[in-house]
Every structure is written in C-alpha cells, then in structure tokens.
C-alpha cells in the first residue's frame, strides 16, 4: 500500500460519521497504547538544506500522527551543523518554529537581521519570516526544532525554498532542475515517491500568489485610528501582531532566565506567555533533577515531549516504567500521570515541551499529584 492510499480508501467507507467516529477513536487508542514512550534519536542525513534528521516523534504532516510516538502534536526534528560545513539553505513558511540549541552555538539570519545563540538558548522567530540557520564555524551546533502538526491541521503548512544549501544533496527519488544556462533552479520529486502519480517540482523563489500576503503584513505599520467597534479591534490586531513580532527578541537566553523551585522540582521556563517572544505554539521549560532524586508527579490534558539533555533514569507513566538516557526523547501521551526518576551518580537535565493550544481551549492547568522531595526544604 502506498503512503497516499489510506486517504483514498477513507472516501469509500460507506457508513455514518457517527459510526466512523467511534471506530477511529478506538483504533487511535489502540495505536497510542502500542507505541513506545521513549525513543532513540534518529540519525541526521545530508539534504538539500544541509544536515537534518527525520522528524523524531513522527513526521510533521498530520497524516502521520501516531507513527513513532504516542503523540499527536509534536514532530520534532534535529538539525546537526558540524564545524566548517557549507552554509545551509534559506526558506520561509507560515509556521513560527521554536528551536533549542542543545550543543555548541550558532546564528539565525532572519529577514536581514542576524541573531546569535549559545548552548541551551531558545530561538523563537516569528511566522512568515525568511530565515537561515548556521552553526559557529569552529564548534558547530546541534538544534532541535520543536515542530508541531498544528499548522497542517489549519491548512497553513505552506513553505517555500529561497536558496538551497551551498552543497545540496538530492536524495533517491529526486533530481536537480537546471535552467538553459546550467544554473540550479530547484529539484524534482519523481513520480512514485510517497505514491504521487506526477512529478512534483520544488522551484527556488517566492510564490507570487503568497508574496503579497507576506509583504502587506511586513508593511502594515502601527495602528493609528480609533477603535469604534468590535470589528475595529480585529483590524487593529492585524497591525498589533506585526508591531509585536517586529520588536521582540528572537532569542531567549538561558543564562538570563531564573531557576525556580516549584512543586514539580527545579525548573527554568524558556517559553510561556509571560516571556515575550514570537513563540506561541508551545510552553517549554528546563528541569534539573539532582542525582538520586525525582521530580514531582503531575498530570495535564496536553501531551508532553521531553529531550534528555543530561543524565539517565526512568519515568513512571500511569505506573508503567520507561527507562531513558541522554539524547532520548520521552513522549508522554495526553492525560497521563507522570514522574521522572534519576539513576546513576549525575544530575539529569530535561527539556520539557507541551502544546499551548489546550490552555486556550479551557483545557490547561496542571494537577499536582506529589511534590518533588526537595520542594518543602527550599520553598
């Protein structure tokens, strides 16, 4: 069966939506229960952009939910930029990515401005911006993009390539496209890849239909009229969003944020609504757990994806043990009670990310089930 066939078959199912709903719900639950909660990182490969891994917790497209991990929202991928590599490609998309540097240091070029980041910094850049990532020439960097399937579900997954890597690699099933003068124009995804029946061309440059949408936002300027009615509030919002995204920093510098002792343990928030950034899809914190200790136990409606930055140990998810070590991805399904335990003689540091949309939907908040052991003595 090709990748695209399940979607064709769905159209032919001759039963009511009411029946379908319960059949699919049951199948999804069965699928969630069958998938592992701890994943080993997938290795990076050379691509037209540079060096990238496949998405760690399942592909970015919403077609591919519940493929590697019991997660619906996250589809994070790792970008590895070794020292002295060719410069990566330039692209833009509607989605506002949230990128964490877990090794080395680097830079983000964004609409003509360069932002620098170091280990454990978070790069949060605004939607509809043209950008390029790079690593420090001497040490390179490793980054994880906390990508989500949210934009696909909204029909806003659109992306365009403006420049390929200085040394692009065309994987099997693709071929470069050259113009008459021999200049590289883009690449062709050949018929048969993922079941497509015609070649798909990816030509470098701006899409003329969407260019105007992007340009108008960039040129919107500040709102100067009075707000006379409710409709005006939303015409003003268009201008306010552009002004806000134009003034916020693109980097949350880890060293400038404070650790806090919470009922869940020692935490440093990198993204939440009170930290002004362009990042709106996720809430993110670092958690440090001392050697031999554990976090609190809590439960929230939203799923959670964790990257183990340091140390080793295990989690309990609704009482079931899942072992982890540095580099692993811990995937906590929605509505699951969970707690982290450190094994060995060193501390553990975790990068914990949760989707923000449930909070907007009235499904936010955290139910604390047990406090971290240090909490009472330091609070």
- CA geometry: angle at 151 spanning 57 and 134, to 5°? 65
- Cβ–Cβ under 8 Å, residues 375 and 261: yes
Q: How far is the CB of 300 from Fe ion (least distance, A)?
A: 6
In this complex, which beta carbon is closest to Fe ion, that of residue 50 or of residue 58? 50
Site string for Fe ion, 63-92 (x = CB under 5 A): ------------------------------
Q: Could you give the CA distance from residue 270 to residue 369 in angstroms, rounded to a whole number?
A: 24
- Cβ–Cβ under 8 Å, residues 269 and 261: no
Please state, in angstroms and as integers, the Cα–Cα distance from residue 367 to each residue in 58, 299, 336, 364, 371, following that order: 28, 5, 11, 10, 11
In this complex, which beta carbon is closest to Fe ion, that of residue 52 or of residue 304? 304
Q: What share of the chain is helix, strand, coil (3-state, %, to 5)?
A: 20, 35, 45
Q: How far is the CB of 91 from Fe ion (least distance, A)?
A: 6
- Cβ–Cβ under 8 Å, residues 195 and 4: yes
In this complex, which beta carbon is closest to Fe ion, that of residue 242 or of residue 297? 297
Residue whose CB is nearest to Fe ion in the complex, by number:
304
Helix or strand or coil: residue 115?
A: strand
Choosing from 59, 121, 304, 315, the residue that interacts with Fe ion (CB under 5 A) is 304
Other CB atoms closer than 10 Å to residue 187's CB: what's the count? 21
Segment contacting Fe ion (CB under 5 A): 164-172, 265-273, 282-290, 304-312?
304-312
Q: How far is the CB of 133 from Fe ion (least distance, A)?
A: 8
- Cβ–Cβ under 8 Å, residues 147 and 97: yes
Q: How far is the CB of 199 from Fe ion (least distance, A)?
A: 25
Q: 79 forms bridges with which residues in the sheet?
A: 52, 143
Per CB under 5 A, which of residues 102..121 are in contact with Fe ion? none
Q: Could you give the CA distance from residue 298 to residue 368 in angstroms, rounded to a whole number?
A: 4
CA-closest candidate to residue 53, choices 40, 63, 62: 40
Q: How far is the CB of 132 from Fe ion (least distance, A)?
A: 9
- Cβ–Cβ under 8 Å, residues 85 and 51: yes
Q: Check residue 373 and report its DSSP letter.
A: T
- CA geometry: angle at 305 spanning 304 and 310, to 5°? 130
In this complex, which beta carbon is closest to Fe ion, that of residue 311 or of residue 315? 315
Q: Check residue 161 and report its DSSP letter.
A: E
Token readout for 135 is: 């690593």
In this complex, which beta carbon is closest to Fe ion, that of residue 59 or of residue 304? 304
Segment contacting Fe ion (CB under 5 A): 9-17, 103-111, 212-220, 299-307?
299-307
Per CB under 5 A, which of residues 168..227 are in contact with Fe ion? none
Residues near Fe ion (CB under 5 A), total: 1
Q: How far is the CB of 322 from Fe ion (least distance, A)?
A: 14
In this complex, which beta carbon is closest to Fe ion, that of residue 304 or of residue 328? 304
Segment contacting Fe ion (CB under 5 A): 34-42, 81-89, 253-261, 301-309?
301-309
Q: Check residue 263 and report its DSSP letter.
A: T
Q: How far is the CB of 298 from Fe ion (least distance, A)?
A: 6
In this complex, which beta carbon is closest to Fe ion, that of residue 166 or of residue 367? 367
Q: Could you give the CA distance from residue 334 to residue 32 in angstroms, rounded to a whole number?
A: 10
Q: How far is the CB of 140 from Fe ion (least distance, A)?
A: 18
In this complex, which beta carbon is closest to Fe ion, that of residue 196 or of residue 337? 337
In this complex, which beta carbon is closest to Fe ion, that of residue 288 or of residue 304? 304
Q: How far is the CB of 308 from Fe ion (least distance, A)?
A: 14
In this complex, which beta carbon is closest to Fe ion, that of residue 9 or of residue 151? 151
Q: How far is the CB of 195 from Fe ion (least distance, A)?
A: 26
Segment contacting Fe ion (CB under 5 A): 41-49, 180-188, 196-204, 296-304?
296-304
Token readout for 329 is: 């991805």
Q: Could you give the CA distance from residue 130 to residue 47 in angstroms, rounded to a whole number?
A: 19
Segment contacting Fe ion (CB under 5 A): 62-70, 164-172, 242-250, 303-311?
303-311
Enumerate binding residues for Fe ion (CB under 5 A). Answer: 304
């Amino acid at each position: 069966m090709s990748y695209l066939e399940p979607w064709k078959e769905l159209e032919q199912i001759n039963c009511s939506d009411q029946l379908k709903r319960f059949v699919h719900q049951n199948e999804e639950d069965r699928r969630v229960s069958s998938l592992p909660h701890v994943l080993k990182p997938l290795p990076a490969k050379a691509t037209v952009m540079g060096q990238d891994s496949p998405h760690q917790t399942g592909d970015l497209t919403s077609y591919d939910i519940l493929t590697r991990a019991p997660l619906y929202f996250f589809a994070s991928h790792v970008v590895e930029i070794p020292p002295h590599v060719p410069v990566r490609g330039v692209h833009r998309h509607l989605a506002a990515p949230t990128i964490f540097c877990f090794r080395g240091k680097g830079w983000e070029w964004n609409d003509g401005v360069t932002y620098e980041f170091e280990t454990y910094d978070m790069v949060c850049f605004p939607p509809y911006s043209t950008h390029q990532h790079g690593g420090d020439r001497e040490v390179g960097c490793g980054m994880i993009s906390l990508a989500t399937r949210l934009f696909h579900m909204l029909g806003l997954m659109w992306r365009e390539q403006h420049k390929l890597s200085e040394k692009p690699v065309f994987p099997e099933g693709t071929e470069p496209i050259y113009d008459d003068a021999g200049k590289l124009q883009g690449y062709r995804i050949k018929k048969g890849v993922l079941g497509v029946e015609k070649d798909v061309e990816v030509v470098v440059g701006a899409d003329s239909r969407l260019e105007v949408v992007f340009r108008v936002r960039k040129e919107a300027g500040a709102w100067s009229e009075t707000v006379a009615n409710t409709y005006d509030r939303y015409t003003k919002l268009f201008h306010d969003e552009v002004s806000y995204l134009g003034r916020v920093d693109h980097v949350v510098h880890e060293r400038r944020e404070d650790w806090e002792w919470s009922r869940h343990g020692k935490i440093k928030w990198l993204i939440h609504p009170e930290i002004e950034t362009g990042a709106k899809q996720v809430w993110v914190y670092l958690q440090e757990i001392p050697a031999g200790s554990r976090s609190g136990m809590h439960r929230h409606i939203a799923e959670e994806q964790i990257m183990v930055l340091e140390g080793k140990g295990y989690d309990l998810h609704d009482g079931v043990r899942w072992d982890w070590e540095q580099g692993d991805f811990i995937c906590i399904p929605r509505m699951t009670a969970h707690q982290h335990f450190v094994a060995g003689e060193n501390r553990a540091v975790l990068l914990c990310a949760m989707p923000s949309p449930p909070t907007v939907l009235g499904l936010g908040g955290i139910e604390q089930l047990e406090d971290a052991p240090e909490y009472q003595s330091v609070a």
